[in-house]
Amino acid sequence: MAAARKRKHNLVIVESPAKVKTIKKFLGSNYDVAASYGHVRDLPKSRMGIDVDHDYEPKYITIRGKGELLAELRKKVKKADRIYLATDPDREGEAISWHLVAALRLDEMKDKEVYRITFNEITKKAVTESLKNPRSIDTNLVDAQQTRRILDRVVGYKISPLLWAKVKRGLSAGRVQSVALRMIGDREEEISAFIPQEYWTLDALLTADGSAEPFTVHYYGRTSQDAKPVKQELENEAEVKEITEALREAHFEVAEVKKSERSRKSPLPFTTSTLQQEASRSLNFSTQKTMRVAQQLYEGVEIKGSGTVALITYLRTDSTRVSDEAQAMAADYIADHYGEEYLLVREKNGKNEGKIQDAHEAIRPTDLGNLPSVIKDSLSRDQYRLYNLIWKRFLASRMSAARYENTQVRIAADQSYIFTASTSRLLFDGYQCVYNQEENEDKGEKLSVNLSRESVLSLERFDPRQHFTQPAPHYTEASLVKALEEQGIGRPSTYAPTITTILARHYIVKEDKNLYMTELGEVVNSMMKRAFPSIVDPAFTAQLEGLLDGVAEGSVKWKTVIENFYPDLDEAVSQAEADLEKVKIADEETEEVCENCGRKMVIKYGPHGKFLACPGFPECHNTKPYYEKIGVACPKCGKDIVVRKTKKGRKYYGCMGNPECDFMSWQKPSDKKCPRCGKMMLEKGNKLVCEDRECGYMENKPEE
């Protein structure tokens, strides 16, 4: 009898140790699973690591502390006949596999079979299917990731020393983070320059057919000569009074009752961006927290009675595509639990635009049978809340639209003035039986009466109200991610790290979800805009992202991108060095005298902005807060108004006499008093505006 064929020994290398246990249970005894713990090689920290004189070749080194890990992996490689590189299914994962080949010298081992495998979800079917369809490493994806890394390195390495020299050591200027910082700064400038405009609304409370319960209608406008309604914006109280006086004895009648049906489509399943936005809105999660918890759900959680189970698909994606198998799974679940009428009739994969990397699916549960309520006890509170959100969103995305009956009522007053009211009634809840987004709910008044052309109306009273236009809101983490995505800046893997970095550098602070620029952030942003306008230009950064996509697709050579980028950056840095030599940003001498040694103290920068320090350091360690006077006296106590910061670093204007005097203003006060009411005037862009909005007085700022 012939000897049995020797079974081949296989080694699967993944990134995260958390995946090892999950994957191991799917494979036989002839498979070993090990983790690389992320990257094993990178550019050196002590130097740029890019040979700009020799075709921009990167010089990679083993990451400190990874030597022992690589030695252990080499032992496992030696025992294996086949090596499967199963790092994450994105560009970074592809690059990690490429680095593993180099670090473990796999390309030199002619007796070993080396393959690349990917799976979008850590399930038995997905893992075993990937083993049946191995491939070689995609060098285009590797080149795209390598190009991103090199671009980020040369920007940081060339520009950061300028910040160290002119502001403080330890600062950084990243390619994407600098654009994000500029966007936050531009929004704050827009808010500061915003001039509120007065407008009014006019409601009328009517009763119908002798009913005691009034209902509200809203002023729309007047009837034109050809009997068509013309909308009228009410700009001031005088216009409102003119209308209410004219209609004091008016006859109100129902001119039109129009009914229509509309539908609200189910939402698309989550991408990385929309998951971060919705988790922020509904769960109050930061982008960093969302990604951390989603990573846990993707890698696997210990479920009672089932062992380690991966609950969601890959979390870094900008695709809304859903596999045929997942669609069938959802259709069966919906039909069984809700009925056929709740099934989405057409396939709904969404329109994935050109900039989207559609290699992955949307974020969804791996198995709808893992109901959040059933496995809740096996999850942490945060895991449960995020998984419940993903589970419901995916199920809803496969369900039919909600249908409403809309009723629009047009009411004529003395045949010349028009008021309107509208309401909607839910006819069929559709996807909303599972998932209902609060921000999309109808918030208008509901008519408490049924109106017809024969209804007899009586006026109870008018309800005029004054309003002022509002500026664009401050960015939140969620709205910044949305803006970055819409402008094509960064990719799913970069949103959370970008925001985390500029928060950690104290360039921005977060208060009540809103992001505010710190004093330090203002200095860095100002330097970047002045010295490197292209680096902080959103359009230029988006264009670079497009080139990186071209590299990934194989239509653009990666070195061409670097060759076109680096010389311009190098020239800009040289020019900036010359220009900034003329600008003293840090260590500016003041008239404040050190109490310990008598030297004049200088301005320095700390994590939260400016402070005063003795130039005699290290002999003298004296420091104290720096308060920038603006030359305006406090209206409450007469002391100087100075620039202050909240505990987190947000700038405002307060009294030098704080805490005894509690004066504060988010807008910069001026020394001019309002000629109409005598209150303080505030600077808003090129205008001076009375601090009392009801006064509403404003004038142009005098030219300096």
pLDDT at 586 over 60: no
pLDDT of residue 647: 74
How much is the average pLDDT of 365-384? 96
pLDDT digits (tens, 9 = 90+) for 164-177: 877 777 788 889 99
pLDDT of residue 584: 52
Per DSSP (E only), the strands in 374-506 are: 402-413, 417-428, 457-468
**Which of residues 576 and 382 earns the better pLDDT score?**
382
Query: Is the distance from CB of 641 to CB of 630 less than 8 angstroms?
Result: yes
Question: How wide is the angle at C-alpha 234 spanned by C-alphas 231 and 237, nearest 5°?
Answer: 155
pLDDT of residue 2: 43
303-331 b/e with 16+ CB inside 10 Å = b? beeeebbbbbbbbbbbbbbbbeebbebbe
Lowest mean pLDDT, pick from 49-53, 113-117, 500-504, 626-630? 626-630
Neighbours of 635 (CB within 10 A): 17
pLDDT at 408 over 70: yes
To 10 degrees, the CA torsion angle through 176, 177, 178, 181?
130
- Could you tell me which residues are beta bridge partners of residue 689? 682, 698
pLDDT digits (tens, 9 = 90+) for 213-263: 899 999 999 988 777 889 999 999 999 999 999 998 899 999 999 999 999
Look up the pTM and report it.
0.86
> Out of 2.40.50.140, 3.40.50.140, 3.30.200.20, 3.20.20.210, which CATH number does the structure's domain 10-137 have?
3.40.50.140
Question: How wide is the angle at C-alpha 391 spanned by C-alphas 387 and 396, nearest 5°?
Answer: 150
Could you tell me which of 176, 19, 10 has the C-alpha nearest to residue 88? 19
**Which of residues 103 and 358 earns the better pLDDT score?**
103
Q: Which helix (H) or strand (E) holds 112?
A: none
Q: Is 499 left (phi over 0), alpha (psi -120 to 50) or beta?
A: alpha
pLDDT of residue 611: 85
Could you tell me which of 520, 506, 477 has the C-alpha nearest to residue 648? 506
pLDDT of residue 438: 53
How far apart, in Å, are the Cα atoms of 264 and each of 260, 414, 475? 13, 37, 28
**Which of residues 298 and 700 earns the better pLDDT score?**
298
pLDDT of residue 552: 95
Second-level CATH architecture of 272-397: Orthogonal Bundle (1.10)
Query: Is the distance from CB of 613 to CB of 627 less than 8 angstroms?
Result: no
Six token digits for residue 406: 């809309």
> Out of 2.40.420.20, 1.10.3720.10, 1.10.460.10, 1.10.1040.10, which CATH number does the structure's domain 146-193+474-580 have?
1.10.460.10
Residue 226's φ and ψ, nearest 5 degrees, are -95, 20
pLDDT digits (tens, 9 = 90+) for 524-572: 999 899 889 999 999 999 999 999 999 999 999 999 999 999 999 999 9
How much is the average pLDDT of 146-156? 94
Q: How far is CA 83 from the centre of its chain?
A: 38
* In the chain, where the domains are located: 10-137, 146-193+474-580, 198-265+402-468, 272-397, 588-626
How much is the average pLDDT of 628-653? 87
Six token digits for residue 571: 């020239």
Query: Is the distance from CB of 35 to CB of 69 less than 8 angstroms?
Result: no
List helix spans (H) across 398-518.
477-486, 495-504
Lowest mean pLDDT, pick from 427-436, 507-516, 543-552, 684-693? 684-693
Active site amino acids: 314
Could you tell me which of 308, 307, 290 has the C-alpha nearest to residue 299? 308
> Out of 1.20.1440.230, 2.70.20.10, 2.30.30.30, 1.10.1050.10, which CATH number does the structure's domain 198-265+402-468 have?
2.70.20.10
CA distance 663 to 653: 8
pLDDT at 4 over 50: no
pLDDT of residue 659: 87
Q: Residue type at 109?
A: M
